């Protein structure tokens, strides 16, 4: 076999191998594109999570549970199921989120519950409307919020004063508290929105270098910088719930609603305090 023949034969063989590799690769193309799409969506959610905690969590809560008297919950069954119909929005959920995040809100749609931060109730976030974010970043935030859709619970908000309200006298006699009930309450009335790993409120759970809220409450009243009137840990916690502005933990702002004295019953507060005291 001459060299020319050999090279032609081998060349044909190589071309056949190349073609079959491409063919086999091609059989998986649909699957690969679908995988990449899922991967890209996952990346968008990750990016959105980071942006949400930097831009949105201060008002809407770290877990999107909302803050009564400030901003509505997003991690909320109502938000996903009925919100669009209530505001008569004609587009998709994603459009709604992107539009709201992009241009903000001049006035709140539910001023009694969630007045926002005044005017505008919600600032605009898209760079085209004077905000800090690019289009893709706004879309990532939307992807992150939409990822709550399947797991969101209905958030119920106590609106008016309740019977047997605890009031704002911190020396009041409280009934026996149930820590387990308090833990459930902490989620359903939205404490957890801010008081876990959060930029909004001091975290309750123990973390490296810092004890849990139960232990800190007792230490705090002995702190010379403390400006409240509590004499015991229980009183300190009660005071922090019903009169959050009396003493501010350093580095935090006064964002907590100040009407819990009216909306929480004595038993509820007792349960909450019992729960918090277990967090050493």
Partner 1 sequence: MLRNANLQDLRKKIGGMIDQRVRAITAGLSLNELRALVRGEPPTEKPNPRYKVHTTSFLFHIRPRYYERGSTIFAHTFRLGFFTSFFFFVEVITGLILMVYYTPSPSEAYNSILKLMTNVPFGQMLRDIHRLGAEGMVIFTTLHMLRTFFTGSYKKERSFTWLTGVALLGITLFLSFSGYLLPWDQLAYWAVTIGTSMAEAAPVFGNEVNLLMRGSPDIAANGLLRFYLLHVVLMPFAAILVISIHYYKVSREHGISLPAKYIEGDVAPGVAKEAKTRIDFLPDLLTHEVFLTALGLLALVLGVTVFGYHAPLENIADPQVTPLDTKAPWYFWWLQGMLKLGDKSLMGIVLPTIIVAILVGVPYIDRNPHRSLYKRPLAVSLGLVAVLALIVLSYMGLPQYGIKTSAATRIVQDLAPQEGAGPVHLIPYNQLQSGVYEVNQSPDRNLCPEVDYGCPELESVFGSYTERVNNAINVGDLPAANAVMLIEDWQQDLKKVTFRIIWEEDEQSKTYERHLYLHRERGAE
The footprint of partner 1 (CB under 8 A) covers 2-5, 7-8, 10-12, 14-15, 17-18, 21-22, 25-26, 29-30, 32-33, 36-43, 45-47, 49-50, 53, 134-136, 144, 147-148, 150-151, 197, 207-209
Pairwise CA distance, residues 140 & 40, whole Å: 10
- At its nearest, how many Å lie between partner 1 and the CB of residue 19? 9
- At its nearest, how many Å lie between partner 1 and the CB of residue 148? 6
Enter the tokens of residue 259: 């009407």
Pairwise CA distance, residues 95 & 101, whole Å: 10
In the bound state with partner 1, the residue whose beta carbon lies nearer, of 54 and 107, is 54
Phi, psi (deg, nearest 5) at residue 153: -100, 160
In the bound state with partner 1, the residue whose beta carbon lies nearer, of 37 and 110, is 37
In the bound state with partner 1, the residue whose beta carbon lies nearer, of 140 and 263, is 140
Which residue is listed with tokens 């007045």? 115
In the bound state with partner 1, the residue whose beta carbon lies nearer, of 44 and 263, is 44
- At its nearest, how many Å lie between partner 1 and the CB of residue 46? 4
In the bound state with partner 1, the residue whose beta carbon lies nearer, of 27 and 85, is 27
- At its nearest, how many Å lie between partner 1 and the CB of residue 119? 28
Q: What is the 3-state secondary structure (H, E, C) of 87-123?
A: CCCCCCHHHHHHHHHHHCECCCCCCCCCCCCCCCCEC
**Residue 68 Ramachandran class (φ > 0 left, ψ -120 to 50 alpha, else beta):** beta
- At its nearest, how many Å lie between partner 1 and the CB of residue 38? 5
Pairwise CA distance, residues 36 & 214, whole Å: 47
Could you give the C-alpha distances from 23 to 12, 13, 18, in angstroms and in order?
A: 16, 15, 9
């Amino acid at each position: 076999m001459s060299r020319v023949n050999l090279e032609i034969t081998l060349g044909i063989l190589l071309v056949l191998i190349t073609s079959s590799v491409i063919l086999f690769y091609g059989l998986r193309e649909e699957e690969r594109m679908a995988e990449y799409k899922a991967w890209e969506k996952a990346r968008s959610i990750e990016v959105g999570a980071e942006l949400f905690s930097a831009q949105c969590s201060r008002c809407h809560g770290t877990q999107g549970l909302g803050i009564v008297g400030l901003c509505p919950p997003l991690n909320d069954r109502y938000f996903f199921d009925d919100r669009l119909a209530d505001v008569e929005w004609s587009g998709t959920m994603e459009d709604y989120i992107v539009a709201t995040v992009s241009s903000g809100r001049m006035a709140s749609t539910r001023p009694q519950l969630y007045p926002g931060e005044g005017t505008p109730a919600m600032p605009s976030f898209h760079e085209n409307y004077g905000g800090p974010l690019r289009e893709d970043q706004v879309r990532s935030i939307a992807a992150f919020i939409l990822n709550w859709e399947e797991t969101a619970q209905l958030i119920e908000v106590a609106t008016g004063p309740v019977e047997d309200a605890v009031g704002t006298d911190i020396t009041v006699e409280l009934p026996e508290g149930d820590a387990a009930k308090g833990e459930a309450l902490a989620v359903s009335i939205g404490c957890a929105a801010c008081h876990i790993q959060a930029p909004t409120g001091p975290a309750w759970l123990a973390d490296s270098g810092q004890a849990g809220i139960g232990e800190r409450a007792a230490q705090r009243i002995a702190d010379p910088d403390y400006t409240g009137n509590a004499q015991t840990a229980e009183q300190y916690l009660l005071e922090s719930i019903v009169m959050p502005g009396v003493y501010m933990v350093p580095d935090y702002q006064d964002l907590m609603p100040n009407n819990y004295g009216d909306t929480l019953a004595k038993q509820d507060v007792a349960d909450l305090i019992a729960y918090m005291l277990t967090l050493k």
